[in-house]
Structure 1
Amino acid sequence: MSTMILEKVKTIQTLNAIAESGLNIFNKDNFTIDNDSANPDAILVRSFNMHTIEFGNNLKAIARAGAGVNNIPVDQCTEEGIVVFNTPGANANAVKELILTTLMASSRNLFAGLAWTKTLEGEGEQIPKLVEAGKKQFVGKEIKGKTLGVIGLGAIGMLVANDALDLDMDVIGFDPFISVDAAWNLSRNVQRAVTIEELFANSDYITVHVPLTDETRGMFNQETFSIMKPDVHILNFSRGELVDEKDMKSALESGKVGKYITDFPNENVLKMKNTVPIPHLGASTKESEENCAIMAANQVKEFLETGNIKNSVNFPNASLPYTGKRRVAAFHENVPNMVGQITLAISSYNFNIADMVNRSRGEYAYTMIDIENNVNDDIIPSLEEKIKQIEGIVTTRII
């Protein structure tokens, strides 16, 4: 268990280059950026591997300026009461644009054609004739009227589906866990696949936008390839491990899969025929990096100043309008009577409760309680200590 009180000036550490537009979110009167700090209040990170670093006892939050958090020891953070944020949707437009670009370019054999054209260097005046004679090997196909299957209709998948409709494609979507926000923004012209097998069987192109889990690992394999149309194009901008690479190699060689476009090249992928290996460029735009940095910084700033949590991958999302009253923020085990014990500790000081929120996520829960009375600073340590002594409390802050 640990107890933490916010100091007036809070220290932010960055483990990667974070866009200046994001760092400017932190007011210099209340925050300082110190990348040499051994014990910051919060860390902003992109791809830095945090599995081998030791956390200080003052660390309250880690924000990943991006969607994936594989580089962060999330389970350890949860056990230590450190909230981990990500920035879903901040890079969605960048990824969407690259998906649609590669979908069209690969259909027209543009990448192979460009590589072949470069081999003509030095042929001088013969180049136009050679081009005319050789271009027939790169005859492609148009995407208009073809069917795109979109697996996962979150921030990226929803944008891809909607824009593909504007390109005169038919679109089938599959997402049994679609959020309310995504459903509201998804075009009604996107056809719903009741099963993923239905999507596999009816798609000319398939793009996947799901997290890597035990259930999704290797979801593209010999069995699922057998359901698909011949010459299907598969686009993977989510995680390389979603594809069984041995089975993908066989499917490419047989022509069952016409093209494999992936943002996750490795030695195996580079040896496969008919692949378009992209050097992990999905979110690599200036706009995307700025959007992620701003979103991550805003989430950290609000959490440190008010306790409110949005877009956490390990804490429950919880929000309470901040009015300037003293606020108790406690992360604790999700067991009966925790809220009652916290409110009892507060009422033992003859404090009234002005407002509160309690949200749970699996084995843990997060409670914020605003105190109606004016609370002197000298009372805070004893109140905090009293809450800390409750069995099941992981961390406590009084803001």
Structure 2
Amino acid sequence: MSIMTLDKVQTIKTLNGIAESGLNVFDKDGYRIDNDSDNPDAIVVRSYNMHSMEFDHNLKAIARAGAGVNNIPVDKCTERGIVVFNTPGANANAVKELVLTSLMASSRNLFAGISWVESLEGEGEKIPELVEAGKKQFVGNEIKGKTLGVIGLGAVGALVANDALDLDMDVLGFDPFISVDTAWNLSRKIQRAMTIEQLFAESDYITVHVPLTSDTKGMFNKATFNIMKEGAQILNFSRGELVDEEDMAEALENGKIGKYITDFPSEKLINMKNVISIPHLGASTKESEENCAFMASRQTKEFLETGNIKNSVNFPNASLPYTGKRRFTGFHKNVPNMVGQITSVLSNYNLNIADMVNRSRGDYAYTMIDIDNQVNGEDMNGLEEAIKQIDGFITARII
């Protein structure tokens, strides 16, 4: 177990191209951007694979400018007391716009139509006549008055649901784990599906916005396809593994599913009938990259300066108003009497507790304590040594 104090200048290392507007959060007086550093205080990353990287003892945080963290060795970071942040919702508008664009374009057979027109190259003056004769094969459907089923009403799903209402669609939502904050942002006109089976049965279009878990993997399969309307269209901008591709191929071939639009191409999908594969463009906008970079940087700065944690994927979120008092923060195993041992050490040094917070997440916990009185250098050294002796402590800082 190690104890770290907050140095005057914090070193930030970036991997991949992080938007400059986001990195501007780190003011020049207190921070230094050094992408060659072997000993940074924090790393801001996009998709760079970090699994083979070695982390110095000084590393306190890794911030992913995006939602997924499969490129980061989260378990290793947790064992070392390194906070891993992500940026949920920062790219939500970008994904929403692509979902709605794909919904309308696929309904009007726009992708197939454009591809067909490109095949007419070389026909010269015959093209207008050929277009008039051939356009009948691309007759589509309007989405007005159709039912859109939205599975998962988080940051993206809620935006899709609300905007689909403005397109005069009927919207049916299903999310058994909806948060209070999200519920406040949803239109009252969105109908609630009591079961996912109800949503499958009543929707003309289905869009899914849930994480990949053992429960959701392959949730779109032969059994669920059989519940759906004939010719239903499915949009997947969450994770490719949510869909059983073998069952999808069969459903597309027999017409049970009209189209499958996905942001996750695979070898099986590329030439599959009625599949529209998009090259993972959901969050690929300039605005999205800037939003993610800003959010990742802001969360990292807040943690380095105050110890507060928001949007961590491996440690509990914890917040305590920062008043400028000396603050102790510690990561430790989630075991009985840990807080009691910490407060006992503080008491032995005649230190008064002004405020504190303790949060747990699975096998790990995080504690922040504001100390009411001054701590001199001699007491600081003794305090550090005493805390090191507490069994189950991972790492700690004094801010």
Same fold, TM-score > 0.5, yes or no: yes
- Is the contact between residue 12 and residue 34 of structure 2 (CA under 8 Å) also seen in structure 1? yes
Matches within 5 A, 1:265-344: 265-344=265-344
| TM-fit CA distance, 1:80 | 1.1
Paired residues for 1:146-225 under 5 Å: 146-225=146-225
Does residue 5 of the first structure (1) align with residue 5 of the second (2)? yes
Q: Note closer, same or farther for the CA distance 1:378–1:34 as it changes in structure 2 (3 Å cut).
A: farther
Separation in structure 1 between the aligned mates of residue 381 and residue 251 of structure 2, nearest angstrom: 64
- Whether 1:90 aligns to 2:96 is no
**Equivalent-residue separation in structure 1 for 2:146 and 2:102 (angstroms):** 15
Residues 173-232 of structure 1: CA distance to partner in whole angstroms, max 9, x if unpaired? 111111111011011111111111111111111111111111111111111111111111
Determine the structure 2 residue equivalent to 1:125.
125
Contact 1:91–1:291 (Cα < 8 Å) also in 2:
yes
Q: Contact between 1:384 and 1:398, CA under 8 Å: does it hold in 2?
A: no
Please name the residue that 1:54 is paired with.
Answer: 54
**Secondary structure of residue in 2 paired with 1:206:** strand
User: Which ranges in structure 1 are unaligned for 5 or more consecutive residues?
Assistant: none
**Aligned partners of 1:42, 1:213: CA distance in 2, in Å?**
29
Q: CA shift at 1:384, angstroms?
A: 2.0
Q: Which amino acid aligns with 1:95?
A: V
Residue 346 of structure 1 and its aligned partner are, at CA, apart by 1.0
Q: Deviations over 1:14-46 (max 9, x none)?
A: 111100011111011111111111121111111
Deviates more, 1:268-277 or 1:300-309: 268-277
| Partner Cα distance (2:377, 2:137) in 1 | 77
Superposition pairs of residues 29-68 of structure 1, within 5 angstroms:
29-68=29-68
Gaps of 5+ in 2: none
Displacement of 1:51 in angstroms is: 1.3
Deviation at 1:6, TM superposition (A): 2.1
The answer (yes or no) to whether the contact 2:349–2:379 under 8 Å persists in 1 is no
Partner of 1:257: 257
User: 1:72: which partner in 2?
Assistant: 72
Q: Give the stretch that moved more between structures: 166-175 or 2-11.
A: 2-11
What SS does the aligned partner of 1:241 have?
Answer: helix
In 1, the alpha carbon distance for the partners of 2:385 and 2:319 equals 24
Equivalent residue number for residue 390 of structure 1: 390
Counterpart-to-counterpart distance in 2, 1:287 and 1:382:
49
* Residue of structure 1 equivalent to 2:28: 28
TM-score relative to the length of structure 1: 0.98
Partners in 1 of 2:140 and 2:293 — Cα distance? 39
Q: Which residue type is aligned with residue 18 of structure 2?
A: I
Aligned length: 399
User: 1:103 is matched with which residue?
Assistant: 103
Secondary structure of 2:235 counterpart: strand
CA distance in 2 between partners of 1:299 and 1:379 (Å) = 31
Between the aligned partners of 1:249 and 1:91, the Cα distance in structure 2 is: 30
**2:302 corresponds to which letter in structure 1?**
E
Shift of the alpha carbon at 1:290? Answer: 0.3
Verify the 8 A CA contact 1:4 1:397 in the aligned structure 2: yes
Name 1:237's counterpart in structure 2. Answer: 237
Quick one: distance in 1 between partners of 2:21 and 2:381?
A: 36
SS in 2 for 1:355: strand
Q: What's the CA shift for 1:330?
A: 0.8
Deviation of 1:72 after TM superposition, in Å, equals 1.0
Q: CA deviation at 1:271?
A: 1.9
Displacement of 1:238: 0.5
Comparing 375-384 with 154-163, greater Cα deviation is found at: 375-384
CA RMSD of superposed structures (Å): 1.0
SS of 2:269's equivalent?
helix
Q: Separation in 2 of the partners of 1:388 and 1:175? A: 44
Which amino acid counterpart does residue 193 of structure 1 have in structure 2?
A
Letter in 1 for 2:145: G
Kept after mapping to 2: 8 A contact 1:10/1:41: yes
Q: CA deviation at 1:383?
A: 1.1
Q: Distance in 2 between matches of 1:264 and 1:145?
A: 29
SS of equivalent residue, structure 2 residue 270: helix
Shift of 1:85: 0.4
Give the Å deviation of 1:378: 4.4
Amino acid at match of 1:256: K
- Following TM superposition, by how much is the alpha carbon of 1:239 offset from its aligned partner in structure 2, in angstroms? 0.6
Q: Within 2, Cα distance between the matches of 1:377 and 1:207?
A: 59
Letter in 1 for 2:231: D
Write out per-residue CA displacement over residues 47-86 of structure 1, whole angstroms, 9 at most, x where no aligned residue.
1111121111111111000011111111111111111100
1:227 pairs with 2:240 = no
Q: Over residues 237-274 of structure 1, what are the superposed CA-to-partner deviations in whole Å (9 max), with x where a residue is unaligned?
A: 01111111111111111111111111111211102111
The one-letter amino acid of 2:139's match is V
Asked if the contact 1:23–1:293 (Cα under 8 Å) also holds between the matched residues in 2, the reply is yes
SS in 1 for 2:219: coil
- 1:378–1:37 Cα change, 3 Å: farther
Aligned partner letter, 1:82: I
In the alignment, the residues of structure 1 paired with residue 377 and residue 31 of structure 2 have an alpha-carbon distance, to the nearest angstrom, of: 21
Q: Distance in 2 between matches of 1:377 and 1:296?
A: 34
SS of corresponding position for 1:18: coil
Contact 1:384 1:397 in 2 (8 A): no
